[in-house]
Amino acid sequence: MYVITGGAGFIGSNIAWGLENKGLGPLVIVDRNGGEKWRNLEKREISATIEPENLFAFLDDNADAVTAVIHMGAISATTETDAGLIKRNNFDLSCQIWNWCAANRVRLIYASSAATYGDGSKGFDDDPSTNALRKLQPLNLYGRSKHLFDRKILRNLGDANSQPPQWAGLKFFNVYGPHEVHKDRMSSVVSQVYPRARAGDAAVLFKSHHPDYADGGQLRDFIWVGDCVDIVLWLLDNPTVNGLFNCGTGKARSFADLASAVYRALGREPMITFVDTPLDIRDKYQYFTEAKMERLRRAGYDKPMTELEDGVAQYVNGYLDTSDPYR
């Protein structure tokens, strides 16, 4: 049995697809019922759906059957300002899941985030040492909550019985792919540019408010969600691999590149206009991210990452520009 928290969400529902596609199950989804995101699971064979408040009662009743908990559930909006809400959902719950998995000898894969790196001035090295983690300064509450949990578990690793038999934290960079429509403003630029490109209108990107970056020249490490799924499946195939790992491509690309790829996937010439970055995120904006991927490679993951143009073409032509955008 594979228990996926946040399983109706973007990355979680893609992991559910990957597990089912590989013949793994049963699948148990932990998420709040209702809403557009549940369409992400319409094609899955789901064993059970659990409200988050009932998670631990379910786990206790089924402890002997659980192979792994894949913890993707979180408040992921980088604009959320309720610190107590984020702490309860992103930190406290993660600690409880870690403790349950350790006590019941169940494997755990959880979502960290590239938001833990802040403005990038301290680099993007997934060095798990206390000294390295202490230097990072996330820019928003979401990033801080993820960083707080990373630091807690790495600071308190002790004997084998105090941690799950396998654990891995994945620092997801800028993920794009199917099943993100429900994220609205927090969905990827690909998702937001596509309807304008299809209509023959210009894409709208944020201007740069940094002297070192041109408008549209802000750089991010954009990763196809299928690569994220492959990494999770590889970890499940390699139960002796533990640690905190970046989940990116290792190659920064510009937002202009990303938007242009959407137009070209549709056979059109790119058209891009620019607007001011909203004030509520302007001072907390990452102008550059690029994952260092050596740690994951040294652990044995050797599958090539999808090139940006190839991933965008898969997303646009295989999902967004079809009558059925769901896996």
Catalytic residue positions, numbered: 142, 183
Asked if 3 and 59 count as a contact pair (C-beta separation under 8 A), the reply is: yes
Residue that the structure tokens 């390699």 belong to:
238
End-to-end, the C-alpha distance of the chain in Å comes to: 21
The token pair that represents 93 in the structure block: 């719950």
Asked if 320 and 265 count as a contact pair (C-beta separation under 8 A), the reply is: no
The token pair that represents 56 in the structure block: 């631990």
Q: By C-alpha distance, which of 103, 90, 35, 98 is closest to 69?
A: 98
Which residues, in sequence order, are CB contacts of 128 under 8 Å at separation 6+? 150, 154, 243, 244
Task: Identify the DSSP state of 37.
Answer: G
Q: What letter represents residue 190's amino acid?
A: V
The SS3 call for residue 244 is: strand
Tell me which H or E stretch contains 247: strand 243-247
CA–CA dist 85, 90 (Å, integer): 8
CA–CA dist 253, 290 (Å, integer): 9
Which residues, in sequence order, are CB contacts of 192 under 8 Å at separation 6+? none
Residue that the structure tokens 């690793």 belong to:
157
Asked if 221 and 255 count as a contact pair (C-beta separation under 8 A), the reply is: no
128: number of Cβ within 10 Å: 18
